[in-house]
Structure 1
Amino acid sequence: MLAVTNLLTLPPLSLYVHVPWCIQKCPYCDFNSHTAKGELPERDYVNALLQDFETSLNAIQGRTLHSIFIGGGTPSLLSPSAYERLFSGLRQHIDFSDEIEITLEANPGTFEQDKFTGFRQTGINRLSIGIQSFQDDKLKKLGRIHHGEEAQRAVGMAFAAGFTNINLDLMHGLPNQSQDDALFDLKTALALKPTHLSWYQLTIEPNTVFYSKPPALPEDDTLWDIQEAGQALLAESGYQQYEISAYSQPGRQSRHNLNYWQFGDYIGIGAGAHGKLTLLEEGVILRNWKTRLPADYLNPAKPFEAGNRVLIKEDLPLEFMMNALRLHHGVDIDYFGSRTGIPYHEISEPIEHAIELGLITIKNKKILPTDKGSLFLNDALALFG
């Protein structure tokens, strides 16, 4: 590999773990998830995850692990003992930060009190619960396997299991959803007092059931009204918007996602996982991705990595800004140089142009989007492509 930048420092390092199985595939979902059939091969899968991690040991370069995010699929389908074995195996190769954030995605339909107490005892200290809606008719249209009351009980069970850092995933712009419907969901979520809310609009993605059979979604005016009213309600309730669709109580932002958006590094293991790695000696930044099908991932005759791509110098300004401009409080100017190896002055022209257009601003040595820039993010990014 040819060096493409003058890299001098390494960013923080995180780990993404993908668990590809779900009880049922949702019609809007375009993630790499597969309907579980029978007993899951969790022992073989954990073995594969650890072997996969070993293939990326050259990316550690003396760093500790800053955060772990276990996504899916439905990672809570695996047992606490599976995660205990995973973490034990990982610690043989890398030190965990004293303040490591370990997030597990879970669905209300998979909640069992003893199991979630077990998850907490393994060191998992943050839950992300896929609620989507608290209204049974909306959940049915979304293909969810839980009911609204079950979702509320699940949050209570999570607190009872010892979790003090809980994110709720909530959608708006659902089929036939009114503004009152959307605010009912949001108010119900806020009453449960999670530390973090991911509140985002349903989008129709290719290769989904909704793409081939589109549901009746709210009109644009209704979507705009929902967004404005919801953001006002979240702010009144003490939740700070720090990213396009992420809101948190003060100091409770997702450290793992902040590392993504601040152009940190992350190793991706598991079927279909993606990674972004800075290789200091080679002077390159590499994106890689793993084989998608669980059967192929578990096949010892096949490699874990499906492909990789070195980011050339011309790619890096856009790659950096695609992440940085998601953050409402912005990213330190110095991060551009330290995490891309490109001097800041090389992007001064598009920066100045974006400022003239009112799309970004520089404040307290941070690059951040204006309100206009957040609304017209693609226009801002086009200046760096």
Structure 2
Amino acid sequence: MQIPGMQQLQAVLEKLPFKKSQVKKPVVRGAMPSASQEALPSAMPIKFLAVSVIMFAIALLFLLNVSFKMVSVSKAYKAVELSPPKLEDYFPNLSVPEKKESADSKKELTIDEAEVSNSATPKVLEVDKVLAIEKTFEYLSRFENNRSKKILLATKPVIAGLKRGSLAEEAGLQLGDLIVKVNNDRIESVMGYYLATTNKPSSEIEIEFERGGKSMTKKMNSTSSKALNSNNTGIMFLIPSGANYVTKEETVKLAEQYRAEFLSSIPLDWQNSFAYNLMRMAQRINNEGLALATSNTPETYPIYKFASSDFLLWQHQQYLESIETFFSKRREQEGKVIESLSSLGDALTGLAGGLLFFLCAFLYYFFSIRAERRS
């Protein structure tokens, strides 16, 4: 049975411009998704996971960068060393190059044969500072004697002064007496007198001298246990300014005085290094001045004008400044170490946060896929 008007409706539909297959079917709410829709997971968990991976990678790279910086800062901190003063800075006109220190020379000054160096770590240095200071003044005394040798050899041993109450005054020696013998050893110069009384110490000295064209002899006897020498007899000579002879006794006294006044002002941890640096430079000064003893014109050598007292003051001041510079650099590097440690803490915090974020994103992605598959 045909519905009235059905034929007319069918004819109208056939005249429309689209096909029947193009007519969309109405979507019924609550209907189940198709099989093709079930195969496509949600895009949000994937994006969340990708972002977490990127953040974790950035945190890891930052940690590696901080670690490399820490290694660099640590090396720079360990590389900070004290730069001891150099003799060339005080006296650039040196002709004798510095000799390499031998193992034997180190053993002479070391305790337990510890390694000696100019490094900035005080505990490495086990140099006997007392012995180093003594050797320093031995070298400087030799230099002074070599520099004055020519002048003293040319100066006649004429008594120019007597210390009041001295053994020479009590023995009857007078101004103008020309000394010709000391303990039967003939002398012809002031240098000869110094050598005769220093190289052969004795509690009794017999002096033969000329006075008014007559030869006379006097004896001086020590009133103590100390041997007599050119320092304690009371005899003085007229010698040119700048020329002097330093005896062994004077050398010992100068070393003791220096330890009391100068070495004690150096921080205890650095005294061994300080004494060793001073001794090495004094050794070079002595080597430089060896030519003065044999030269007929010692005043033509640059080292002839070298002032030992000024040098000692300079080395002491320069070493104190070197210590201050060392600690200043150490403090600067310590600041960088603290800064790098702070950055390391931030990097570890960032890495922990990135890892936590990645775990959360992974769990979210995992459970999202699982829930979609179940539904």
Higher relative contact order (CA 8 A, sep 6+): 2
Q: Same fold judged by TM-score > 0.5?
A: no
Q: Give the structure with the higher percent strand.
A: 1
TM category (shorter chain) comes to: under 0.3
Q: Which of these two proteins has the greater Rg computed from alpha carbons?
A: 2
- In proportion to residue count, which structure has more helix? 2
